[in-house]
Structure 1
Amino acid sequence: MQDGSGGLSAYELERLENIRQNQAFLSSMKIFQAAEDLKQSKPSQRGLPRSKAAVSEVLPSRRSLRLQHKIPETSSLPPEPRGVLTYDYSQPCKKPSGPLPMEPANMEEGSKLPPELLNLCSEVSVKEEKVELNLKEYRSALKNMRITEGRVAKVVKHRIFSAAFHPCTSSLLMATGDKWGHVGLWNIGGGWGDDGVLLFEPHSRPVGCMAFSRTNPAHLLSLSYDGSLRCMDIEKACFDDVYVSENDLKSFDFLTPDCATLVIGDWCGQVAIVDRRTPGNSYESLHTMDTKTIRCVNVHPLHRQYFAVAENRVVGIYDSRCLKKTKSQAVSQLLGHSLSISSAYFSPSTGNRVLTSCMDNTIRIYDSSALTTKVPLLTSIRHDMHTGRWLSKLSAVWDPKREDCFVVGSMARPRRVDVFHESGQLQHSFGNQDHLSTVLSVTAFHPTRNALLGGNNSGRLHVFAE
């Protein structure tokens, strides 16, 4: 029976009311908005093209012999295999030692490097008077940094392990290394390669650390877990051997201001001192530290004989003049970490602070202005550092333009990158609904410009800049 409400029955009116209430509930939970966000956040198509999935062979469907009314050919099991079983992990072979030509893998065979690249890498930066911003001005500068569609690109094929800005100022040129030994160069707005991306293959395993030489910016040094450290020399168009080890290498830093001498840490707890001017690809001296593995080495910016080593649960500061072959004694120690330490970095100008990242979900800042036996702790900041096995570990790194602020990726949603003051105060969070939808594990500030990069698990770089 129908009432006077538009000819609808009581049942139909009740059903419409239920629909209205359900939609109001979903709107209050922002379900529709979340669905729209998922539709909008598509990965950037700039940079390297996506690899096409291999077309699987179509095989005939399997049917049991019983259903086919057939008798099995044999009823006995095959014999058990004898001897030692070997497994093929399908990992790339180690690259041969010696210089490797810089042949872009994403260009036609025989293609030469674009001459604009050498001009850009050889650019002499004009030294301007350094203007020290207060925190309010610094926060304002961070807020003016934006990400756009043109500032996101796939630069390497696989998960990013390391990245660095080139010091040139006329353009934003970046380098990054991935899980399987690729090194990519990306010039935003560049006219070469794939949207300004050039891809190289100098290593065969993760490129865990890289840095441009401060004295010759046409040199990019890259270190890999495959036991090799190479120098990309753009003038010679080759990757030169610097150091080769039987152990997996983890981290390096320049021990001298001319960037000729390096300190290199490996996964077996050894530190090698390497002089690039010495012929060959071996070390000057090798020192076994009192630890199982070394995750990071970093040199003091002023007193360059000192370098910090992130060991298992302790950061030790060592004097390179007093190293022994085994169990060298640390000048100072940074204590208080309850789990493994991912990284430890001196503050960029004075070295009066040491910034550490630890898997106990804590970022710590220590006062290293006086290298006493035990360096005092200044600040502890709670931060989720558990990325899981499929993402690169988070590491807090200093802004090279300041002594008191640093950047670190975040596991929080919506995805973002956080900048903190050494006091623990959050200065700014970089995020964007349209162009940032993944965790940026690897982060770095430009040495002079207001620009920040972040690398993710799919080989993409995201850049925030003015």
Structure 2
Amino acid sequence: MPAKSQYELEREANIANNLALFEELGLKEAVKDLGIPTAKLTGKRKAAPVRPKTLKRERAEPEAPRRQSRRLLTKLHPDPNETPEERKLREDALDKERIKQEDARLEAEEKARIAKRPRHDVLNFKTLAETEEPQELSWLTQTMEIVAQTSGRRVGDPEAFNFPDDAKHKTAVKYLREKVKDLKVVSRAKVTTNRVYCAVYHPEVTKDIVFFGDKHGQLGIWDARAPPDDVNDDDEGIAPDNREGGKYCRLQLHWPATSKSSISSIKLDPIDSHNLYTSSYDCTIRSLSFVSGSSKEIYASEDGVLICSMDLPPTGNEMWISDGSGGVSHLDLRQDKSHIRRYELSEAKIGCISVNPTRPNFLLTASNSRFLKIWDTRKLNGLPIESLDHAHRVGSARQTLNFESSIINKFLESKKGKGGFRGEWKHDKSASSAYWDPRGRQIVSTSYDDTLRLWDIESPVFRTDEVFPNLKPFCRIKHNCQTGKWLTILRAQWSPNPDAYPHFTVGNMDHSLDVYSSKGELITQLSDRTMISAVQAVTCSHPSIVERAASGNASGRCVLWAPKSLMVHP
């Protein structure tokens, strides 16, 4: 019998050690189930053999030479007797092969780069939902066909709910509290695969359709109270309260599917509820139409400037866009996307922009420079083009009028520019968001200084060209806004319902959803410790139903808050 190799000796030693350990632990029957021959298990327990010293393995026979290409051998190990002509031919052949390999490598790298670039062409639903099951896509089409195509945004009256005495305010707040204090979690689902960054509630009243944008450029469309499908075998052991509620579909609107394509904001078209806009960190804004079943690009920033926020006036004809370089761009949706006017309004990132719904020429910006500022866009749009040189006017792919801060400041100090800048307020730390309410009268801001602030600007001051006489907030609310690296920034969001007493929602680090009145009173804190164990960082409200709110967290799980009577169980 030939001598055992070192490998076989080590293997037998390992088997003996394992068998001894199993018997010591009383797992003899488990050893039998492993299929080890019973001969090794009979008799008395033997002491584990000493593990032999590991030795360097030696080959019993010399390894036979491997086969090699004669052509490569000739090129790499030339004949010492070759002539100069033969050497030149050989070296030329080697050079050609190196060039061919380098070209192949560069081509592969270029294909990889192209795959990571944003998609600028028109994309249909099939392409956007290529990772989804076909029935989910058909469900989306059928659902949106049922939904009426209506105006997506209503505005309020600046003088509405401006009661002369506190008694009427208290009555209105009491009515609002009765409406929202008992809202429960009636549906939950993991609508997006990654962290929720933004959300918007569809105005349809017969359904609860909510759109969520996530960290990797994915749009989740959730019909939160849709009747559930038949229960799968995998779900039979899950309690009804723990099953996913409603139906949802995921569309990969922005590409690549990484954090470089996070959806920074979602806006419904103010004049067509079957169309919505999404801005992304891939430096593009896309329009998604449920009528045509496609998505098209309407804007792409130059030089990779990060798009942070966008908003539209109620007419829906234009769009205002803020970016990470302190600029604000104006896009007329009735014109070709090549006609852009960009204004440098801050030395730091403008993370939020809001258009006054009742006075659309008043623009609100919040930036990392800590300032909240109000602008009159009629003056900004009046900046003379003659003040720009050729470099400012012509971009790499389209004509962009880029007004630098020095040009804007000089113009605002002139007689023609008077009234372009209306006021500012400096927070203690970065101002993460600021929004007009549906009446275009009040402002709520969120800041990293852990404070929510409220402003109430009366109508007469809008009618002049003078700087607002007093832009001091009338209310400050202490609120923990230290979300850190792994949570979406908290933003207080007004309810877009113009018929309800003005109120806003904001996420709470204590896992609740807080509702405040326009006077800064805490209406209620919605929470459910048995069903929610994460911060509801992103919030939104139904445009016309007071008893509806939705929220999303860092895992992509979303929640519908509504009266308990609307809860649907499988």
Q: Normalized against structure 1, the TM-score is what? A: 0.75
Q: Is residue 326 of structure 1 aligned with residue 379 of structure 2? A: no
Alpha-carbon separation, structure 1, partners of 2:350 and 2:476: 23
**Gaps spanning 5+ residues in structure 1: where?**
1-66, 72-85
Q: Is residue 352 of structure 1 aligned with residue 410 of structure 2? A: no
Alpha-carbon separation, structure 2, partners of 1:142 and 1:192: 26
Q: Is residue 342 of structure 1 aligned with residue 432 of structure 2? A: yes
Displacement of 1:108 = 3.3
Cα contact 1:182–1:200 (8 A) shared by 2: yes
Displacement of 1:289 = 1.6
Q: Is residue 362 of structure 1 aligned with residue 451 of structure 2? A: yes
Alpha-carbon separation, structure 1, partners of 2:136 and 2:516: 47
SS at match of 2:474: strand
Q: Report the equivalent of 2:192.
A: 156
Q: Aligned AA for 1:362?
A: T
Alpha-carbon separation, structure 2, partners of 1:191 and 1:114: 14
Cα contact 1:364–1:381 (8 A) shared by 2: yes
Per-residue CA deviations over 1:36-83 (Å, capped at 9, x if unaligned) read xxxxxxxxxxxxxxxxxxxxxxxxxxxxxxx84559xxxxxxxxxxxx
Displacement of 1:336 = 3.7
Q: Aligned AA for 1:315?
A: L
Q: Report the equivalent of 1:297.
A: 353
- Range that drifts further, 193-202 or 333-342: 193-202
Q: Give 1:452's match in structure 2, choosing from 549, 556, 570.
A: 549
Alpha-carbon separation, structure 2, partners of 1:353 and 1:92: 45
Alpha-carbon separation, structure 1, partners of 2:376 and 2:115: 38
Displacement of 1:111 = 5.4
Structure 1 segment 365-444 matched on structure 2, within 5 A:
365-369=454-458, 370=461, 372=468, 374-401=470-497, 402=500, 404-412=502-510, 415-444=511-540
Alpha-carbon separation, structure 2, partners of 1:108 and 1:374: 57
Displacement of 1:461 = 1.0
Per-residue CA deviations over 1:308-352 (Å, capped at 9, x if unaligned) read 011221111111122251223552333240110110011212x22
Per-residue CA deviations over 1:397-422 (Å, capped at 9, x if unaligned) read 1122345421111012xx21111123
Cα contact 2:456–2:473 (8 A) shared by 1: yes
SS at match of 1:335: strand
Cα contact 1:367–1:376 (8 A) shared by 2: no
Q: Aligned AA for 1:447?
A: P
Alpha-carbon separation, structure 1, partners of 2:356 and 2:142: 34
Structure 1 residues 92 and 314: alpha-carbon distance in aligned structure 2, compared to 1, 3 A threshold:
farther
Per-residue CA deviations over 1:5-63 (Å, capped at 9, x if unaligned) read xxxxxxxxxxxxxxxxxxxxxxxxxxxxxxxxxxxxxxxxxxxxxxxxxxxxxxxxxxx
Alpha-carbon separation, structure 2, partners of 1:177 and 1:367: 31
Q: Report the equivalent of 2:329.
A: 272
Per-residue CA deviations over 1:123-166 (Å, capped at 9, x if unaligned) read 44899x99977111110000232213xx1111110000000100
Alpha-carbon separation, structure 2, partners of 1:271 and 1:373: 25
Displacement of 1:90 = 11
Displacement of 1:376 = 2.2
**Gaps spanning 5+ residues in structure 2: where?**
1-52, 58-108, 162-170, 230-243, 256-260, 384-402, 413-419, 463-467, 564-570
Cα contact 2:221–2:248 (8 A) shared by 1: yes
- Range that drifts further, 159-168 or 312-321: 312-321
Q: Report the equivalent of 2:90.
A: none
Alpha-carbon separation, structure 1, partners of 2:145 and 2:494: 29
Displacement of 1:374 = 4.6
Alpha-carbon separation, structure 2, partners of 1:320 and 1:262: 12
Displacement of 1:424 = 2.8
Cα contact 2:137–2:249 (8 A) shared by 1: no
Q: Aligned AA for 2:525?
A: S
Alpha-carbon separation, structure 2, partners of 1:114 and 1:366: 41
Structure 1 segment 3-18 matched on structure 2, within 5 A:
none
Cα contact 1:395–1:409 (8 A) shared by 2: yes
Structure 1 residues 198 and 332: alpha-carbon distance in aligned structure 2, compared to 1, 3 A threshold:
same
- Range that drifts further, 430-439 or 113-122: 113-122
Cα contact 1:169–1:448 (8 A) shared by 2: yes
Cα contact 1:290–1:326 (8 A) shared by 2: no
Cα contact 2:141–2:290 (8 A) shared by 1: no
Alpha-carbon separation, structure 2, partners of 1:233 and 1:277: 16
Q: Is residue 138 of structure 1 aligned with residue 176 of structure 2? A: yes
Q: Aligned AA for 1:200?
A: L
Displacement of 1:282 = 3.3
Alpha-carbon separation, structure 2, partners of 1:290 and 1:114: 41
Q: Aligned AA for 1:137?
A: Y
Structure 1 residues 111 and 397: alpha-carbon distance in aligned structure 2, compared to 1, 3 A threshold:
closer
Q: Give 1:252's match in structure 2, choosing from 310, 314, 319.
A: 310
Q: Work out the number of aligned pairs and report it.
A: 376
Alpha-carbon separation, structure 1, partners of 2:200 and 2:445: 19
Q: Give 1:239's match in structure 2, choosing from 267, 282, 295.
A: 295
Per-residue CA deviations over 1:142-194 (Å, capped at 9, x if unaligned) read 0232213xx11111100000001001001000101000100010112336999
Cα contact 1:155–1:197 (8 A) shared by 2: yes
Alpha-carbon separation, structure 2, partners of 1:98 and 1:432: 44
Cα contact 2:173–2:501 (8 A) shared by 1: no
Displacement of 1:107 = 1.6
Q: Give 2:142's match in structure 1, choosing from 106, 116, 129.
A: 116
Cα contact 2:150–2:271 (8 A) shared by 1: no
Q: Report the equivalent of 1:81.
A: none
Q: Normalized against structure 2, the TM-score is what? A: 0.62
Structure 1 residues 427 and 230: alpha-carbon distance in aligned structure 2, compared to 1, 3 A threshold:
same
Displacement of 1:114 = 4.2
Alpha-carbon separation, structure 2, partners of 1:433 and 1:423: 28
Structure 1 residues 192 and 106: alpha-carbon distance in aligned structure 2, compared to 1, 3 A threshold:
farther
Q: Is residue 201 of structure 1 aligned with residue 256 of structure 2? A: no
- Range that drifts further, 322-331 or 102-111: 102-111
SS at match of 1:321: helix
Cα contact 1:243–1:283 (8 A) shared by 2: no
Q: CA RMSD in A?
A: 2.9
Alpha-carbon separation, structure 2, partners of 1:285 and 1:298: 17
